[in-house]
Structures are given as structure tokens and as C-alpha cells.
Structure 1
Amino acid sequence: MTVWALGINHTTAPLDLRGRFAFALDQITPALSSLRSSLHAEPELTLVSTCNRTEIYGSGDSAQTAQVLQWLASSGGVSSQSLQSHTYTLEGSSAARHAFRVAAGLDSMVLGETQILGQLKDAVNAAEHAGALGSTLHQMFQRSFAVAKEVRSSTDIGTQSISMAAAAVRLSSQLFEDLSKIRILFVGAGEMIELAATHFAAKNPRQIVIANRTMERGQALIDRLAPAAATSNTALHTMHLGELPSRLHEFDAVISCTASTLPIIGLGAVERAIKARKRRPIFMVDLAVPRDIEPEVKALDDVYLYTVDDLAGVVQTAQATRQAAVAQAEVIVDAGVQDFLRWMQQRSEGTTNLIQQLNAQSDAWRAAEISRAKKLLAKGEDIDAVLEALSKGVAQKFLHPAYLGLGASEPSQRAAAQEAVQRLYLKPQEPGER
């Protein structure tokens, strides 16, 4: 029994490839059910999907990673051979350490970022809902969450961390001399857009507009931004996503991050917007994976388009000053990993010892029944009658503890025995059986 991980991330796969394997939160549970049904056994599994990574963690036979790779490749519409060159496969302590480092923000594009911890917790909850989260992965992730909390509370790993949102503000400042004079359109109303809008709102832009499919969610975000904008002259509005093509020219900056599987801002719409703006530049940031803005837009004159990968250089600029904090964090991670590995070892030893005891008990029962059968045969008893008695004797010895549990005087003990007997002895009823 071991833990393993298979995945792609921002260091191994380009943005467009990562986009093929992006799973929305509501897709994780059915995806795990599909993956488990494709395997010969149904191991413990957890699927983590963010802008920068798609990873599958498992507990059981690590040889199953070959089948997992095939399933993942199929889900993204690529061959397993082409995907394999972009994936990493980790096993045992390496897989556990990777999970702990991801939770602590040490494996992120933005060193020390906190958003990944919430995304991991969502992934674990989805795995539990799918019935795919067993005791081993539960222990690993819960311990990684505790380590992540310790890293953030006892080191400076998060100080001076430059988020994607802050990086976008920096880049826009290089294009626009005065951000208080620009109009900004935010496409989407999720956590990333709220973070970006909060950063830009601090610069007191002339106007902030939230475009979303659901007007209620857009208005809810505007309401949360209102207190920060109350002391400035920033105008706050919402609009329906369907208005975007006809109104795109109104905005100097466009920040997009939705869960759409296809681009929602096309080349043609941006070309028309640039023409209507009389060649005044547009600053665009696509924070979505898969992309929200068609990549061809980047080639247009007067358009400055940045993706999450383009922002990587900006968010790395302050990392050199945090190396001491990283070293402290790695020590905490290593201690947490070692504790988890000791737990796995103790659990494995306990299981092995129990199996040995069970085998010894069954051998003793079997030997006793064989000895009795030999004596009966020696007396000339009918061989069929002796075999019948032998089989009944062995069955009775194995069933006797179950009978004792089902006949226990305490209701709680009887209920526990009923559950155990149903799970260990009785075949699950197939659909249509009576």
C-alpha cells in the first residue's frame, strides 16, 4: 500500500494544454466516479484542478497510474503518449511531500499564495462526496492542511507575495500613466475576479463594470466593492455578459476569469472594439484556464494581452527576498511528511499482524476439521457424509463469531455486528434482484 500522484502543472505543460484538463468543481465528483469505474479496482482517489495544475492523488497499487494517464488523456482528447511527456508521476514519500508543498503554497506560481489551500479542501470534499476518499488520503490531506496553517503562521512565506491580481495592476500601470482615468471591465464574478477588482478599486479608476451571465452575482460583487469605492469617484455598474461584444470598446482594461470551456471574447469582437476606439490601446488580462480570450488577440496592434503564464515573471520578482522563509517552510513540511509516513507504516504493520493472526486462526480451524474427517473416514464412514460434515464444520467455525455479534445483548453491538456482517459476508444486491 502506497500513495501516488500523477499530474501536470505550470512548470510542465503550456497553458493551452492545461486548459484541456481543467475540471470545474461540480465536474470533479462525476469525473472521479468515471475514473474509478475505469480501473480494475476502485482505489482511493482525489482530483485537484486549478488554473495552474491538474493532479490525481491515489492510495493503492501505483501500477494503476498507467491506466489513470490513459483516462486523463482521453478526457482531454489527446493521446496518452503526447500527454505523458508533460506529466509527472510521484510515489510514496515523494507524492506525500508534493501534496504537503502544494498545500503550503511552495509549489505555486505565486510562492506562498493562499488560494490553493481552499481549492485543495474543495477537492477533498468532492472526493469524499464521490465515495473516493479513504482513510489514507484523508489522513494525508488533513495533515497537509495543518502543516500549511503552521507554515503561514510561523514563517514569512506570505509576506510581499505578489498575487496575479497585483501583477495585473503593475502591468496596467506601465501602460496607463494614471489609473484613475481608465474604465475597467471585469468578466466573471468569481473569487479571482473579486480579488482583481479589489486591487484595481484601490487605484480609484474612473469606472468598474462587472459582466456576468447572472446579474445577481454581478450585483453582489458590486455591493462588496461599494464600501471601498465610497471614498473615491469610481462608478460601479453591472452588465449582462451578452452585452460584451457591443460594449467592449468602452473599456480601457478588460480582466476576465470565467469557468467557460470556450473563449467568450473573440478576435472579431476585439478588432471591432479597437476600430471603434480609434486605435486607443486596450489592456487585457486572461486569468482563465481554459482561455476566455482567443489567443490570436495578442497579435493585434494596440492590444496588450496577458495570460496567467505571462504574469509568471512578474509574480516571481520578490521571491529572492523570501528564501529564508522558504527554507523554514520546507523544514515544517518535511516534519509533517515524516509524521504521515510513520502513521502509514504503523497502520501497515498493524494490518499485517492482524492478517497473520487471522491466517493462523483459520489454519487451526481447518486442521481441526481435517483431523476429525480423517478419523471418520478411518471408521468407514461414507465419504460424501464426511465431506459434508467437513464443509459444515469449517463454515460454522467462521460464522460463529458473527452469530455471537448478532445475538449481543447491547443494541449498539448488534447494530455494529449487522453492519459488519453485511459488508464482509453478504454480496451487495444487484439492481433488479429481489
Structure 2
Amino acid sequence: MKLLTLGINHHTAPVDVREKVAFDPEYLQEALHDLRQHLSGVSQSGLPEATILSTCNRTELYCAANDADSATLLHSATFDWLAKSQQLAPSSLEPHIYSLPQSDAVRHAFRVACGLDSMVLGETQILGQMKDAVRTANQAGALGTYLNQLFQKTFAVAKEVRGSTEIGAHSISMAAAAVRLSERIFEKIAEQRVLFIGAGDMISLCATHFVARRPKQVAIANRTIERGQELADAIASQNVEAESFKLSDLPSRLHEFDIIVSCTASSLPIIGLGMVESALKQRRRKPMVMIDLAVPRDCEPEIARLNDIYLYTVDDLGVMIQTGTSMRHAAVSQAEAIIEDRVGNFMHWLNGRNTVPLIQDLQQHGERLRQIELERAMKRLMRGDDPQDVLNAMAQGLTNKFLHGSLHTLQHSNGAERDSLIKLLPKLFSTHSSAYSHTYHHAEQDSSKHTNDTSDKNDL
């Protein structure tokens, strides 16, 4: 079984690269189906398992394939699919890609879920996003024994780390950073009008932080008016004036707002350069703060060149966040120790799964031997033979057949192979007799004296 995590994140690529690799949530199941079909060439035992995690800070492909010829082959197939599916030249993507096989893939999943690999150290949102990704993969039929076990263990480790360390303490969230950036331009948010574009979890979190500053007015622009109105009603219940309007009305209303926070799932920018230039004219050059938390970005990058516009992306917020992480670093080493121990446990389970086919073969072989001896015994009983003689013969036949292969291999082995078998067979058959100890002792002596002797002078 080969495990692989292949991805790109805020550590390896800027936002203008990450947005090109991000997946539209609406087409994630279709992408999973296509990925598994593409990887089927490296697996001889059915379709590989796959999960895609795509957020504003990372796009990661988690894969598990039976009988992959090599980790390199699985990496190549996965990388080729990612570049092709996002219509990118492999040469433009390769410098930003990380590829993590086996235990490294397990360790990475644990660290991501615990918030150790996040832009905001210890943040909890990524755990929910990972659970959503796994749920989508399950609905697409892309999960199997291995990835399902990996992610269940991942969620358990995240719960353990968050419950036994202070990794999430003193967190400086993206939402809090957005407020602080706005306050650099506008001293008092209480005197400003704030527009939120979108109505998802990130916008809801940002709204909570901004509403705490009691802005003059809040509006929600969303594709569906109903969901935007729900958020507006929740804000209004806190005695802050709030309304909602359709996203299609944005061009005619953008100029009304001083602070714009946007986070949608649109694959194309929804705020263009011309729209902002028009808004600035109507505002008579009064400055605007625009915080774009979306990946792909909601705002055209060229907007940042306009005077009186202060445009910030998730990477800009990340720089601010990193300055406030020192209080959480003390918990990192404790979290890493927990993760390392749990990685060992998972790899032990995974390696144990590799023996399942062998165990099944042994069980089937034993069943065939049992059937042969049972049929022979039944025939003798039907002939009227003494039942005790029949039972003794059946027991003797089973014993001889069961031991035949091992004894034959031992008798025809020599040198290092013979020494290994002498050590191994007693463990397999749970024997600890003095005869074994005597044989092993002499085998050790013989091995030390004749390490280069390939003859078999001690046939049993």
C-alpha cells in the first residue's frame, strides 16, 4: 500500500499561484472521480482512494494506491493530473509542489488538522475544512479502508492535541487581523460603513469581529439574498444597522462603503478595476479598505495600484499574524511529540494491513488441508473403520501436511537463511522447547565459525 500527499500551500507559493490550483467546491466530486480514474494505472487492485483538500491557503491531494510500482510512479501520476486538471504547465507548478509519501503523508495530515501547518498557528477552521473534504470524498465513493482510517485517526489526534496542549491559546485569527488592518487606515471603525461580500463561515467570523467595534452600518452582498439576510438579521439583533442585497447590485452600491471584506467561492474576480475606479469617483477620492480573503481572489490585483485604495490579501494578513504567534510556540513541541507517537501507531497498523493477503492465503491453505483430511476420514467412517483409528489418522495427516512446507524449507536451507529460519519458526509455531534452544545455540556457533560456508552439513 502506497500513501501520498501532494500539494501546494502558503509556505510554498504566493496567492497568485495558489488561486490557479484551487478547486471549485461544486465540482470537487467530479474532480475526485477523474483523479481516481487517472491513478488507476498505478494500482492493480481496484481504483485508488483519494481526497482533495482545497482552501484559501492550500490545495492538497491525499491518495492511497494498492500495488503501486513505486512512490515515484504515484507521485508522477498525481502531479500530472493536477497540472492537467488545472490547465497549468508542469514547469510553472513544480517549484511550489511538495510530495510526501508514507509516514510523511500521515505526519502532515496530523499537523494540518492540529493547526501546526496553518498561517494562523493553532487555528481551528482547517479542521472543519478537512472534515468537509473527507465528507465530500466519502459521498463521491473515493474513500476506502486506508484513507478512512487515516482521517479518523487524524481527527482523533487533533482532538487530543487541542485538549492536552495550549496550541490554540492566544490565537490571532484572520478576522482579527482584518480588523487591525482596517484600523490602520480608519482610526475608528465605529464611524465607517462595512460591506461583507459572501455569507460563508469566514465572513460570519469577520462580521463578529467588526460588529464588536460597532460600525455605523453593515451590509451583506451575496449571490442568494436569503442567506445574506440571515447574517444581516443576526447583526441587527446586536443593535447594529444591517441590510442585505444581491451581488448583482454591487457595482451600483460599492461606493457607499468604506471597508469591504470579501470571501466567496467564485472562480473569477467579482470586483474589477473599472468598478472600483467608478466607486472612487463617486466617493470623491475618499479612501477604501478592501480585504480579499478569497482564493481564487475576488478582487482584480490591478486594483492595488489605485490611489486611495488599500487592498490586502490573505498573504498580507498572514504577515501580520506571524508577529503574534510567539505565545503559542511553547505548545508546539508538546504537540509535535504527540503527533510523532501517533504516526508510529498508524504506520504499525498500516504495515500490519500489508500482511492481510498473506494471512488470508494461509487461512485458505489451512482450510483446504482440513477439507482433504475430513473427506478422507468421512470415507473411512462410512466403510466402518474404527472411529478412534480414523481420528488418530486425521490428526496425524493434518499435522504432517501443516508442517511439511516449513520442514522442507528448513531442511533445504543453509547459511544465513537457515539461521533466520531457526530463529523465526519457533515464534511462528510458539515452541520454546529445549531442543529448539540446543539447535539454535549450535546454529549460532556454526554460523560464527563458518560464515562463508554454503554447504548444508546440518540437515535435519
Give TM-score scaled by structure 1 length: 0.80
- Residue 338 (structure 1) aligned to one of 331, 336, 344: 344
Equivalent position of 1:49 in the other structure = 54
Shift of 1:223: 2.0
What secondary structure sits across from 1:102 in the alignment? helix
What secondary structure sits across from 1:131 in the alignment? coil
- In 1, distance between residues paired with 2:365 and 2:281? 80
Shift of 1:356: 5.0
Aligned-partner residue type, residue 31 of structure 1? A
- In 1, distance between residues paired with 2:153 and 2:52? 17
What secondary structure sits across from 1:279 in the alignment? coil
1:65-121 C-alpha deviation (Å, 9 max, x unpaired):
211111110121111232111101011111100000001111011111111111111
Equivalent position of 2:32 in the other structure = 32
- Residue 297 (structure 1) aligned to one of 303, 317, 324: 303
1:287 aligns with 2:293: yes
Aligned ranges 1:67-216 → 2 under 5 Å:
67-216=77-226
When structure 1 is superposed on structure 2, of 344-353 and 327-336 the one drifting more is: 344-353
1:58 aligns with 2:63: yes
Equivalent position of 1:415 in the other structure = none
Shift of 1:167: 0.2
- In 2, distance between residues paired with 1:85 and 1:346? 35
Whether the 8 Å contact between 1:184 and 1:254 is mirrored in structure 2 is yes
1:259 aligns with 2:265: yes
- In 1, distance between residues paired with 2:54 and 2:292? 18
What secondary structure sits across from 1:198 in the alignment? helix
Equivalent position of 2:243 in the other structure = 237
When structure 1 is superposed on structure 2, of 196-205 and 146-155 the one drifting more is: 146-155
Aligned-partner residue type, residue 227 of structure 2? R
Shift of 1:349: 2.5
When structure 1 is superposed on structure 2, of 18-27 and 116-125 the one drifting more is: 18-27
Whether the 8 Å contact between 1:187 and 1:210 is mirrored in structure 2 is yes
- In 2, distance between residues paired with 1:136 and 1:294? 41
Aligned-partner residue type, residue 348 of structure 1? N
1:281-339 C-alpha deviation (Å, 9 max, x unpaired):
10000000001000000011100000001111111112112111111111121122111
Shift of 1:132: 1.3
1:349 aligns with 2:355: yes
What secondary structure sits across from 1:59 in the alignment? strand
Equivalent position of 1:23 in the other structure = 23
> Structure 1's 74 and 359: CA in aligned 2 closer, same or farther, altered over 3 A?
farther
Equivalent position of 2:325 in the other structure = 319
1:7 aligns with 2:20: no
Shift of 1:353: 3.0
Whether the 8 Å contact between 1:144 and 1:336 is mirrored in structure 2 is no
Whether the 8 Å contact between 1:147 and 1:333 is mirrored in structure 2 is yes
What secondary structure sits across from 2:36 in the alignment? helix
Q: Which runs of 5+ in 2 are unaligned?
A: 372-460
- In 2, distance between residues paired with 1:78 and 1:355? 46
Whether the 8 Å contact between 1:257 and 1:288 is mirrored in structure 2 is yes
What secondary structure sits across from 1:311 in the alignment? helix
- In 2, distance between residues paired with 1:274 and 1:218? 25
- In 2, distance between residues paired with 1:49 and 1:134? 20
When structure 1 is superposed on structure 2, of 345-354 and 38-47 the one drifting more is: 345-354
1:366-414 C-alpha deviation (Å, 9 max, x unpaired):
xxxxxxxxxxxxxxxxxxxxxxxxxxxxxxxxxxxxxxxxxxxxxxxxx
Whether the 8 Å contact between 2:4 and 2:74 is mirrored in structure 1 is no
Whether the 8 Å contact between 1:46 and 1:124 is mirrored in structure 2 is yes
When structure 1 is superposed on structure 2, of 244-253 and 79-88 the one drifting more is: 79-88
Aligned-partner residue type, residue 48 of structure 2? P
Shift of 1:361: 7.5
Whether the 8 Å contact between 2:235 and 2:241 is mirrored in structure 1 is no
- In 1, distance between residues paired with 2:197 and 2:130? 25
Q: Over aligned residue pairs, what C-alpha RMSD do you find?
A: 1.8
Q: Which runs of 5+ in 1 are unaligned?
A: 366-434
Shift of 1:363: 11
Q: How high is the sequence identity, in percent, across the aligned residues?
A: 54
Aligned residues: 362
What secondary structure sits across from 1:309 in the alignment? helix
> Structure 1's 84 and 363: CA in aligned 2 closer, same or farther, altered over 3 A?
farther
Aligned-partner residue type, residue 47 of structure 1? I
What secondary structure sits across from 1:310 in the alignment? helix
- In 2, distance between residues paired with 1:359 and 1:80? 49
Aligned-partner residue type, residue 173 of structure 2? S
Whether the 8 Å contact between 1:25 and 1:122 is mirrored in structure 2 is no
1:247 aligns with 2:264: no
- In 2, distance between residues paired with 1:84 and 1:352? 39
Shift of 1:20: 1.6
- In 1, distance between residues paired with 2:229 and 2:182? 25
Shift of 1:357: 5.2
Aligned-partner residue type, residue 287 of structure 2? P
What secondary structure sits across from 1:90 in the alignment? strand
